[in-house]
Structure 1
Amino acid sequence: MKANIDHLVRFGSYDKEDVIFLLKDLSDVTLEGSTEEREKRVQGGEHYSETLPIEYNPPEHYLQLFWETLDAYKDKVALCTAIVAEQIYHKHGKQTVLVSLARAGTPIGILIKRYLKWKYDVSLPHYSISIIRDRGIDENAIHYMLQTHNGYALQFIDGWTGKGAISTELTKNCEEFYQKYQIRLDDTLAVLADPGYCTTLYGTREDFLIPSACLNSTVSGLVSRTVLNEEYIKKDDFHGAKYYQELEPYDVSNSYLDEITEAFPKVNPLQIEECIRANELDQTVDFKGMKEVLTIKEEFDIDSTHYVKPGVGETTRVLLRRVPWKILMKDPDSPYVQHIVLLAQERNVEVIPYPNMSYTCCGLIKKVVRKG
Structure 2
Amino acid sequence: MDKHASAASHLDSLGIHGSYRPQDVTFLLNVNEIEPTSLVEKEYLIQSGKKHYSQMISVEHPPSKEQMQYFDYAFDQGAERLARDVQKIGNSLLSRFGNQPIVLVSLVRAGVPLGVLLKHYIGKNHRCFHYGISIIRDRGIDFAALHAIIDQHGAENIVFVDGWTGKGAICRELTQNLSDYLALFDPGWDIPRLVTLADLGGYSWLSASCEDWLIPFGILGSVISGLTSRTILKDDIDHDLAIKNCDDPQNWHSCLVYQHLRPHDISVVFIEKILKIIDLNPCTDVADWNNQIRLVQQKNCLDTIAWISNTYRIQNINLIKPSIAEATRAVLRRVPEKILIGDSANPHVQLLLHFAQEQNIPVDILGAKLGPYHAVTLIKKVEKN
Tell me the TM-score normalized by structure 1.
0.90
Task: Tell me how far 1:336 sits from its aligned partner.
Answer: 1.1
Structure 1 residue runs without a partner (length 5+): none
Deviation at 1:303, TM superposition (A): 2.7
Q: Give the whole-Å Cα distance in 2 for the aligned partners of 1:19 and 1:6.
A: 9
Residues 151, 240 of structure 1: CA spacing in aligned structure 2 closer, same or farther, 3 A cutoff?
closer
* Residue among 275, 278, 300 paired with 1:264: 278
Give how far 1:127 is off: 0.2
Q: Which moved more, 1:223-232 or 1:237-246?
A: 223-232
In structure 1, C-alpha distance between the alignment counterparts of 2:155 and 2:175, rounded to whole Å:
21
Percent of matched pairs sharing the same residue:
35
Is the CA contact 1:9–1:16 (under 8 Å) kept in the aligned structure 2? no
Which residue in the other structure is 2:264 paired with? Answer: 250
- How big is the shift at 1:8? 4.8
2:56 corresponds in structure 1 to 51
Aligned counterparts of 2:13 and 2:282: Cα–Cα separation in 1? 40
Q: What residue is the counterpart of 2:85 in the other structure?
A: 80
1:238 corresponding residue in structure 2: 252
Give 1:38 shift: 0.6
Q: Does 1:284 align with 2:298?
A: no
Task: Find the aligned partners of 2:159 and 2:67 in 1 and give their Cα distance.
Answer: 34
Relative to structure 1, is the Cα distance of residues 6 and 310 closer, same or farther in structure 2, using a 3 angstrom cutoff?
closer
User: What are the within-5 Å matches in structure 2 for residues 282-321 of structure 1?
Assistant: 282-285=292-295, 287-288=298-299, 289-321=301-333
> What residue in structure 1 maps to residue 115 of structure 2?
109
Are 1:130 and 1:239, in contact at CA under 8 Å, matched by a contact in 2?
yes
Q: Does 1:350 align with 2:362?
A: yes
Once the two structures are TM-superposed, the CA of residue 7 in structure 1 deviates from its matched residue by 5.4
In the TM superposition, what is the alpha-carbon distance from 1:281 to its structure 2 partner?
Answer: 7.6
8 Å CA contact 1:96, 1:152 repeated in 2: no
Deviation track 1:280-307 (CA, whole Å, cap 9, x = no partner) reads 4844335221321121011011231011
Distance 1:207 1:225 in 2: 22
User: Is the partner of 1:332 in helix, strand or coil?
Assistant: coil
Q: Is the counterpart of residue 62 in structure 1 residue 74 in structure 2?
A: no
Cα distance, 1:122–1:268 mapped onto 2, change above 3 Å: closer
| 1:8-40 CA-partner distances (Å, limit 9, x unpaired) | 5444100010100000111xx224211111111
What residue identity is the alignment partner of 1:112?
L
- Tell me the SS of whatever aligns to 2:178: helix
Partner of 1:326: 338
Name the aligned partner's letter for residue 350 of structure 1: P
One-letter amino acid matched to 2:272: D
Q: Which position in structure 1 is the counterpart of 2:164? A: 160
Aligned amino acid, residue 227 of structure 2:
L
Gaps of 5+ in 2: 1-7, 246-250
Q: Is the 8 A contact 1:11 1:21 kept in 2?
A: yes
Count of residues in Structure 1 that have an aligned counterpart in Structure 2 = 359
Tell me what 1:143 maps to: 147
Instruction: Quote the Cα distance in structure 2 between the aligned partners of 1:209 and 1:131.
Output: 24
Q: 1:256 to 1:6 in 2, by over 3 A?
A: closer
Contact 2:324 2:374 in 1 (8 A): yes
Aligned residue for 1:262, secondary structure, equals helix
- Check conservation: 1:8, 1:25, Cα contact below 8 A: no
Q: Which secondary structure state, in structure 1, belongs to the residue aligned with residue 19 of structure 2? A: coil
Residue aligning to 1:129: 133
Q: Give 2:373's match in structure 1, choosing from 356, 359, 365.
A: 359
Asked whether the equivalents of residues 46 and 52 of structure 2 are also in contact (C-alpha less than 8 Å), the reply is: yes
Contact 2:101 2:126 in 1 (8 A): no
Residue deviations 1:248-293, cap 9 Å, x none? Answer: 11111111111211111344536x24xx3x4248443352213211
Q: Distance in 2 between matches of 1:69 and 1:177?
A: 39
- Greater shift in the superposed pair: 79-88 or 11-20: 79-88
CA RMSD of aligned residues (A): 2.4
